Amino acid sequence: MTKPSRVPELRLSDFTSGLPEMRDIFCAHLMSGLQRYGFVILNDHPVPLALLDRAYSLSAQFFAQPEATKRQYVGGTRGYVPFRTERAKNQTAADLKEFWQIGPEHQAADPQSALAPPNIWPAWPPEFREVFLQLFRALQFTGAQILEALTVGLSLPSGYFVPPLSDGNSVLRLLHYPPIPCDARDGMRAAAHEDINLLTLLIAAQGSGLELLDRDGHWLAIEADRSKIIVDSGDMLARLTNDVIPATTHRVVNPAGPNVSRYSMPFFMHPNTDVVLSCLPSCVGNGAKYPDITAGTFLEERLKEIGLIGK
């Protein structure tokens, strides 16, 4: 049986506008929460609730369109990805989801780049581009604040993560898990996996099912209301910190109640593709576990493994 969630809930405003002692407590709890559970839940963040509500409404409107309409926008790492396309690393069965991916609006995006091509925008619903670019910027700003708070626990100078994020390759993913088909009732909506990136900021989903594997090997159900953001640590942060902050294994289980759609919007925080993922000096310990690799090369390897780009 799944144990009740004990994931820490923190107020980001304690760090951004609190007294020095409040900032210190936030940084300590953020670090320990990611080390102990791999997840923390944020209150008082700078992403407006009205923007989140509008984004969820537009996401549902887009996914309600006919399959043929949505497939006009298939684009690999940008635009639409059809149902049962992506699979978790080392899994053969595809996840039970469809999604849309948005990257930064680079002025000189390379149309030939599989990692950072130009964004694709649908003709409908109205305001889709405007709303999701606004949400992208708000989440990128929030993620940068969280990484700044981590500099304390990682013995890094203030502003350490600013240059690596200057031309970042973050991705906002709009996820739709349709009602479970009859041939998949005993499976998972999304198999157990770790995220590729530094941090994931997950806007509280519309629908249950998210579970994390804590450091003691227990699956914990993660529930949060729509005003909160769930934060988890990814593979790139694990490499930088030599697993001082491990990547978080999580999954989305099939619904136990009514078989209805589930919507969520994870924001995958990536650094610049040319950033070298090298063990931080404060985390070397008895030696680095992982060889140096650029963020772009690592991302490309993982995208091939999960079926989003060709091998």
Instruction: Please provide residue 141's backbone torsions phi and psi, each rounded to the nearest 5 degrees.
Output: -65, -45
Query: Which CATH number applies to 9-234+250-273?
Result: 2.60.120.330
Residue 1 has pLDDT above 70, yes or no: no
Query: At 51, is the pLDDT very low, low, confident or very high (cuts 50, 70, 90)?
Result: very high
pLDDT at 109: 56
76 vs 275 pLDDT, higher one? 275
Range from 21-35, 36-50, 183-197, 241-255 that averages highest in pLDDT: 21-35
Range from 178-187, 212-221, 276-285 that averages highest in pLDDT: 276-285
pLDDT at 60: 95
Q: Can you give the pTM of this predicted structure?
A: 0.93
pLDDT at 292: 97
Residue 234 has pLDDT above 60, yes or no: yes
**CA nearest 211: which of 234, 229, 188, 228?**
188
Instruction: Please provide residue 176's backbone torsions phi and psi, each rounded to the nearest 5 degrees.
Output: -130, 120
Q: Which residues contact 194 (CB under 8 A, 6 or more apart)?
A: 89, 234, 235, 238, 247, 248, 249, 250
DSSP lists the bridge partners of residue 3 as 220
pLDDT at 3: 44
| Gap between the Cα atoms of 122 and 286, Å rounded | 51
Residue 59 has pLDDT above 70, yes or no: yes
Query: At 2, is the pLDDT very low, low, confident or very high (cuts 50, 70, 90)?
Result: very low
pLDDT at 290: 96
Across residues 184-211, what is the average pLDDT?
A: 83
pLDDT at 7: 84
- Residue 114's SS3 state is coil
Least confident of 6-15, 146-155, 197-206, 233-242: 197-206
> What pLDDT, in 10s, does the model give residues 73-125?
998 789 999 998 888 787 778 888 999 999 998 755 555 577 778 899 999 99
CA distance readout (Å), 62 to 125, 129, 174, 205, 220 = 6, 12, 10, 17, 31
Query: At 184, is the pLDDT very low, low, confident or very high (cuts 50, 70, 90)?
Result: low
Average predicted confidence (pLDDT) for the chain? 89
| Gap between the Cα atoms of 200 and 172, Å rounded | 10
| Gap between the Cα atoms of 206 and 140, Å rounded | 21
Annotated domain spans of the chain: 9-234+250-273
